[in-house]
Amino acid sequence: MIKRTLIVGNWKMNLSIAQASFLVSKLHKKIAGHRDIEVVLAPHTLALQPVSLQIDRRRFRLAAQNAYYKDEGAYTGEVSFTLLNDIVHYAIIGHSERRVYFNEDLDMIRDKVSACVRNQITPILCVGETSQEWSNGESKQVLHDQIVSALSDLTANEVAGMVIVYEPQWTITTFHGRPAKPDEVKSAVDFIRKQVSELYDDTAAKHLRVLYGGSVDEHSAGSYLRVEGCEGVLVGSASLNYQRFAAIVDSAYRKNRERADSDAKRQD
């Protein structure tokens, strides 16, 4: 089974529509269409529509940063997954900024994951512990609870198609974090797959894509992408600069070439 490496740029509440359009046109020139890499952009809701009209869909896919879990109705100020489903392939759910600043709890995140799947959008579920939980040695318990809850309405097949990102709060620029070390990422990625395998089955655990996010930049991306089982990165600040983001995509490309070369050598 060939899984494409996933590089997601989370622009958060940054970039005007004009700036977003400029960034996309620069990226388009810099990023060649590598078939084994999937590049996903997550603009704020207002920029989704114009960016969707601008992108070459063979080169970029779009993700929503958030949506409401009801499909339609009297919910002033909200946008639903139903309304987004012909614009985006993915939606980021459970990001720690939403958990912390908007009080999204486990139930809300579970409902958003279900609504996302119901509307044929692939969830990019972010999980991870706070720095306090990390210092207390509670990381695995937190990951377990977040995964069990968020996936509880899904079938094994639906879980197999989704993306889970290990993005602990203590690594995110917003929370003045430090980047995780590759061996810390390896142990979390393995743990996430083990949880999915125990809750569902080995097939779901194998098919699911697991990523790392948190202070990823053009210098560190390669070291995370070389972690066995880590199939991509979620990038915040460094995705706002087209040269830095393109360099991250390029390191994914180089890593895939290295792997293909060493596989070919092994077969000789």
> Where along the sequence are the contacts to ligand PGA (CB under 6 A)?
10, 167, 172-173, 213-216, 234-237
Closest residue by Cα to residue 92 from 11, 31, 189, 180? 11
Min. distance of Cβ 262 from ligand PGA in angstroms?
A: 29
**Residue 95 designated active-site:** yes
Min. distance of Cβ 12 from ligand PGA in angstroms?
A: 7
How many angstroms separate the CA atoms of 119 and 228, rounded? 31
Give 121 or 180: the residue with its C-beta nearer to ligand PGA: 180
Residue closest to ligand PGA, measured at CB: 236
Give 49 or 173: the residue with its C-beta nearer to ligand PGA: 173
Min. distance of Cβ 43 from ligand PGA in angstroms?
A: 13
Q: Which three-class secondary structure state does DSSP give residue 130?
A: coil
Q: Which three-class secondary structure state does DSSP give residue 236?
A: coil
CA angle, 93 as apex, 161 and 112 as ends, to 5°?
85
DSSP secondary structure, 195-226, as one string: HHHHHS-HHHHHHSEEEEESS--TTTHHHHHT
How many angstroms separate the CA atoms of 212 and 108, rounded? 23
Cβ(235)–Cβ(7) under 8 Å?
Answer: yes
Min. distance of Cβ 198 from ligand PGA in angstroms?
A: 27
Min. distance of Cβ 76 from ligand PGA in angstroms?
A: 27
Give 129 or 167: the residue with its C-beta nearer to ligand PGA: 167
Q: How far is CA 171 from CA 67, 109, 122, 153, 176, in A?
A: 24, 21, 24, 29, 7
Min. distance of Cβ 175 from ligand PGA in angstroms?
A: 8
Give 10 or 146: the residue with its C-beta nearer to ligand PGA: 10
Cβ(79)–Cβ(107) under 8 Å?
Answer: no
Q: How many CB atoms lie within 10 A of CB 204?
A: 22
Q: How far is CA 82 from CA 68, 77, 134, 257, in A?
A: 9, 15, 36, 38
Element (DSSP H or E) covering residue 176:
none
Question: 150 exposed, middle or buried (CB, 10 Å; 0-12, 13-18, 19+)?
Answer: buried
Question: Which of the following is catalytic: 97, 133, 167, 231?
Answer: 167
Give 80 or 241: the residue with its C-beta nearer to ligand PGA: 241
Give 2 or 13: the residue with its C-beta nearer to ligand PGA: 13
Question: Which of the following is catalytic: 38, 44, 95, 158?
Answer: 95
**Residue 28 designated active-site:** no
Catalytic (active-site) positions: 95, 167
